[in-house]
Structure 1
């Protein structure tokens, strides 16, 4: 991949900068004076987004659909489609390595998430979601009980920090931002922000679960994946391991024409 950050070099300044930003952001959430500002922002944004849902109209229905588990899988497919579409963000020759580099960053984030969850538990930073705390909150599962039973609609969490759903969207958007320009960059971040909204409208997460916890995890994982040799070496290794499979698949009609298979 002919991009400066996917290589076998350590980029110490960028690595350190990501850690400084991540830990300053977390500190702003933990320090009492600035935590009061975060709490106020959380409450005001939740009221703004959740209040219209009481009418159980179009606003509530849109975000109730967006909060369904099957829709989460559809969002994942859309994210991969943007990454894998040749000449949208990456050229056909770059697509496969881009996919492997992103997956390596995602694996790192999942590992960080496991460790961070233990720290959050140990330090007593955990909290219930907005829908369980704010009196009179519109609960989408109560507004659409049939949908909840059939489609696993999520509008609450007893442990809402950090925002796992948001962290995946954010690391994808950050990764894609290295390569995206102009309207493509706007597309990436519009998708990430819109797909984060269902959890915020429903009250399954506070805004700071995403903007502090999600960003914290995404920044650390992206830093160790992309500003060290990790993503480069992981993508090179995965390409070698999957080479027999991609060669076999490239001979199939239609499937073999996909850039992630053909490499062009």
Structure 2
């Protein structure tokens, strides 16, 4: 793949501008009233609607995180089933590369970004917490919520789908992103900006250097060269 430096730099500038629009102003500027309004809207709904309370509780249960993995895996499986043996191997390797990028980018973001803040459920007083309203195990708080790591992983998945599987796959991946990332905002375990600023700005800065340069293709070729080919060996016997 030809490196597209102008577009990479443009996306990097957009990511930096997004982050600093939140980071530099006192009390995060116009972002804090938006964060506060979104949190309090959903927080009040918790006691207005029992159905909404249960929905938020269940979609923030650890089992629901497993559903996000199933959704991502199902989308990749739909492409895997259409491929021959070499194509299926390539898709599996793309999945491994996606996990590698997610781990590396998440670690870099955690160590480089000079931000540590608690979730809104730990920031505001006199609010409702799902864990106190129901006995269902659920995640409704975080001592270090920025950037949203769950949202970051889903954005990395969406970017991989765009790079290797096309725009329709990307659109479906964005739906998966919304469905599985924003319940964290609805329950108050994350601020809206943990995802809309934190996760997105990291993605705009880091992913172009991985996916709009030969780097990801090079890693895929490296994995393809050195990972064992057990299935092919068995078939050859």
Q: CA RMSD in A?
A: 2.5
**Shift in Å, 1:106:** 4.1
Q: Does 1:113 align with 2:98?
A: no
1:52-91 map, 5 Å: 52-55=45-48, 57-86=50-79
1:14-33 map, 5 Å: 14-32=7-25
Counterpart of 2:232? 247
1:127 is paired with a residue whose SS is coil
Counterpart of 2:185? 200
**Shift in Å, 1:165:** 0.6
1: CA distance between counterparts of 2:101 and 2:79? 26
Unaligned runs of 5+ in 2: none
Contact 1:109-1:221 at 8 Å conserved across structures:
no
**Correspondence for 2:37 among 44, 56, 71:** 44
Unaligned runs of 5+ in 1: 1-6, 252-264
Q: Does 1:92 align with 2:113?
A: no
Alpha-carbon spacing, 1:250–1:154, altered in 2? closer, same or farther (3 Å): farther
**Shift in Å, 1:34:** 9.0
Contact 1:171-1:219 at 8 Å conserved across structures:
no
**Shift in Å, 1:164:** 0.3
The number of residue pairs the alignment matches comes to: 233
1: CA distance between counterparts of 2:152 and 2:9? 20
Moved more, 92-101 or 108-117: 92-101
**Shift in Å, 1:78:** 1.2
